[in-house]
Structures are given as C-alpha cells and as structure tokens.
Amino acid sequence: MLMKNGTQSLTEQLASRFAQRIREHLLAPGARLPSVRQCAQQQGVSPSTVVGAYDLLLAQGLVQARKNRGFFVRERAPGAEVPGRIGAPTDATPAQRAPMNATALIRGMFYSVSDKPQPGMGVLPQEWLRSSFLATALRRYTTVQALNAVSLQYGEPAGDSGLRRVLSSTLAGLSVQASAAQIITTVGATQALDLVSRTLLRAGDYVMVEEPGWSVEFARLDALGMRILPVPRRAEGPDLEVMARYCAEYRPKLFVSVSVLHNPTGFSLSPYAAHAILQLAEQYQFHVVEDDTYSHFAPTHATRLSALDGLQRTIYVGGFAKILAPNWRIGYMAAPTALVERLLDTKLLSTLTTPALLEKALAWCVEQGQLRRHSERIRQQLDAARHRSVKLALAHGCRFAAEPVGIFGWVDTGVDTDVLAQRMLDEGYLIAPGALFHAQRTPSPLMRINFATTQEAAFWSTLQRLRAEQQKAA
C-alpha cells in the first residue's frame, strides 16, 4: 500500500512500484499502464500524483507516452518483428502482448512479491517437499572417498549409469520401454526440451505446440527462431483437424505435448487421440516430444504416447522438480535409438555432463522406495488441498473451465486477468493470467492456480473484491 507518511512522496512510491515491476518483468515491454483516471481510482490517490509518477518513469526511460493512447512500457528493441506465428500478425501491437511476460512466473520462484502464498506458482510449497531422506541420500555420497571418486573427473556423458538403469525400470512401470542406453540425463526437464529443439530443428522450422500451453515453451521456441503452430487443446487431446491441416500445409518438424495432466488445463490424452497423433506423425514424418513433468501426480495407467509408440517417433521427457527437489535440477529424456547420439552431442556442447553426485543420490531415493512413499503422501495432501481450493473458488464466484485434477486449476474469473494480475500484485499476490498460456497472448478471463497455494479464504475474498471493481469499471 502507498503510505502518506512514508519517507518517499506518494508520487515517488507509485513510480517505484511500477519501475520494480518493469525491471522484474511483471510488466513486459509493450504493456499498457492503467490510464491516469483508472490508476488514481485503483491506488486511492489524485490524478496529479499519477501524472507525476508517470513523468518519473518517462524520465527514467522505462515507459513512453503515445499520443491519445496512454503510457506503455518501453520496448527493448523498438520496431523488432515478432517471429511469424500462424494466425498472428508479424508485428504485434501492445494490446496483443501480455502485461506479464513468460519469465515472470519463473522469476517468481527466486523472489517473493510478499509473504503470502502465491497462487500463480508452478511448484509445491517448501513445507510440502521437506523430507529427511534427501539428506540421508546425500550423506552416502559425501564421504571423502565417495567425493574423490565422483567429483575429480567428468561424469558419464549420458548421465550416471546407475540412475539411468533406475529410470529404465521406472519407465517400464508406465509401460514406456526404454533401455538405459536410450536415456540421457539433463539439467531439469527444461534442458531436455531445449536439447531436443536444438538437435532436431533449425530457425524457421514449424513446430506444433498445444494451446493453451506452457508459456516458457512458446517463448523458448520463439527465441530459437521457430515458427509456432498453436494447436487448441481439448479435454480428450489436441484438435486433430487443426493438426492435420497444419501437417498438410506446413510440414512441421515437431509436436510438443503434455499428454498427462496438461498444463494449465489438467486434461489427459484419450487413447483414440493418442493413436491419431501417432498416425499423423508417421504419415508426415515429424517427431513428438511428450513432456511428462507431472507424472508423479498422475495414474500409472494414463495414456502416454511414448508407451503406444515404443519410442519410434516419440521422445519422452521427465523430471523431479515438481515432486522432490527443484534445486537438484535433475531431468531426463528417453529417445529413439537412432537419435541418442545426436542428442548426446548437443548435451556435450551445452553442459558437457551433469552432476553425478545428485544423480547417484536420486537413484538411491528411487531404489529404496523413498520417492514412491513421498509421492503417495504428496498426492494425498494435494487431493485434500484441491477439494478445499475448489470449494473456495466456487463460493467466491469463480468457475472451472476444466475438471479440477492434478496440481493446477484452470479458472474462469469473468474479467481480463491481465488487468486483474496487476491489481492482485498490489495486494501481494502473483497470479498466472490466461494470456501467458497462448502463443499470440490475447486478453483472457482465465487464470491458472496452484491448488496447494490457494487454501486461504483471504486470497479468494481479495480476488472477488477486485473482480467486482473491475466489472464495475468496465
């Protein structure tokens, strides 16, 4: 809240608030600031205070004024073209950009906007993940003898062989048949996705990605110069008609899918849709990356493309950040035999190897059943949290656009969540507006919530109040 008796004037406080959000990417380049009248009403200050704050931001070079249009966050590269996406203009207007960019939620993992639980976070709370067995696992490999054996040389290029054998057995439990030789460990699942893109694609290639989808994947592919083909994601799977049309017209090289507990909707793939996707992949000779990041929250019998395909045209990606230890950064991929050496070459060019000590500790956690018992506890805790969160959401006037399952909920607020996100930041809450999950980033009434961090009625009451104010002002 702005403080009238603070050491800074109201004008300086307001300017500092916007400046911080711009620097932390919570307001992205091209985002429009609230009008002077709107900002004055929202912050409970006079219009002259807002004008003064915007003038300070202009002087700092953080915003620019556009005649008869308002104030906008200054572009880093004015006039730069947006990579050509199907159905999107080549030069997106500020209205087509989300006020919060793709990395804002990632940055939220490293700093907190307040001490309140953050509904937009992509990970479970620290208190949920705490355990004693991680320390036990590490102690096994931190004796002087073990450290000398592991740390004084580069590890195996593909990753610790013991962990890869364990992962092979784990995947077999999901009906994904992959030998240890087909598995490569990575610095988190994100690096696995990046290695696949850098190995199989070149700038200008077409890539099909589910929409809504993970905002970072859109941004990452954009940064590599790929041309994104957004495929609408339905409850049973991607829109097969759209996929077929893209395949015939653009001959994409890759399809990226979260087939089980899709982010952000929670949808899981149906067997029929899975078979149809694989038929298209075979017909048009593209590969499918199956991101199974949320496997620890999902039933083992869920339909997985890699299980049906036998890792012929599919590449399976997994990790442990969501369930165990985000900072260990252990991910992996299981790939067709013909692609393993190419993918391994790309890994060697980026990180050489991955830390064997943590990989050995993780292998022990899996072999001893510690991870399985930990996952069972987390799933039970998440089920209870989801029930409470859904009850609170419905009681405060929201509805779910998809059946609430897994770790995330896809909530319809009835208002533009880009605007709502900035108002919620004023109250100390970081939310994930729906525009973040679309390639073209058009305004959306949807938002993604984390069931584990939306247990407090105070959050939902704040959301309800600001939604009502926004609806009244519209």
Asked if residue 112 has pLDDT above 90, the reply is no
Q: Which residue has the higher pLDDT, 19 or 95?
A: 19
Asked if residue 74 has pLDDT above 60, the reply is yes
Give the E-state strand segments of 345-454 in sequence order.
399-400, 408-412, 432-433, 446-450
Q: What is the mean pLDDT of residues 440-456?
A: 93
Quote the CA–CA distance of 158 and 35 in Å, as a whole number.
Answer: 54
Looking at residue 474, its pLDDT comes to 73
Cα angle 332-338-342, degrees, rounded to a multiple of 5: 60
Identity of the amino acid at 280: L
CB half-sphere exposure, 287, CA atoms < 13 A: 19
Looking at residue 24, its pLDDT comes to 79
Looking at residue 129, its pLDDT comes to 95
Looking at residue 6, its pLDDT comes to 65
Q: pLDDT tens across 347-378, in order?
A: 999 999 999 999 999 999 999 999 999 999 99
pTM over 0.75: yes
Q: What is the mean pLDDT of residues 319-325?
A: 94
Q: Which residue has the higher pLDDT, 152 or 289?
A: 289
Asked if residue 332 has pLDDT above 60, the reply is yes
Quote the CA–CA distance of 373 and 367 in Å, as a whole number.
Answer: 12
Q: What is the mean pLDDT of residues 303-314?
A: 97
pLDDT band at 85 (very low <50, low <70, confident <90, very high): very low
Is the bond leading into 212 cis (omega within 30 degrees of zero)? yes
- What the chain holds in terms of domains, given with CATH numbers, is 1-83 (1.10.10.10), 133-368 (3.40.640.10)
Cα angle 340-343-346, degrees, rounded to a multiple of 5: 150
Looking at residue 22, its pLDDT comes to 86
Most confident of 78-82, 240-244, 427-431: 240-244
Q: pLDDT tens across 120-154, in order?
A: 999 999 999 999 999 999 999 999 888 888 888 88
Q: What is the mean pLDDT of residues 43-67?
A: 91
pLDDT band at 30 (very low <50, low <70, confident <90, very high): confident
Q: Which residue has the higher pLDDT, 110 or 67?
A: 67
Is the bond leading into 336 cis (omega within 30 degrees of zero)? no
CB half-sphere exposure, 262, CA atoms < 13 A: 27
C-alpha distances out from residue 64 to 13, 45, 292, Å: 19, 22, 42
Quote the CA–CA distance of 224 and 208 in Å, as a whole number.
Answer: 14
What are the φ/ψ torsions at residue 386 (nearest 5 degrees)? Answer: -60, -45
Q: What is the mean pLDDT of residues 422-450?
A: 91
Rounded to the nearest integer, the mean pLDDT of the chain is 90
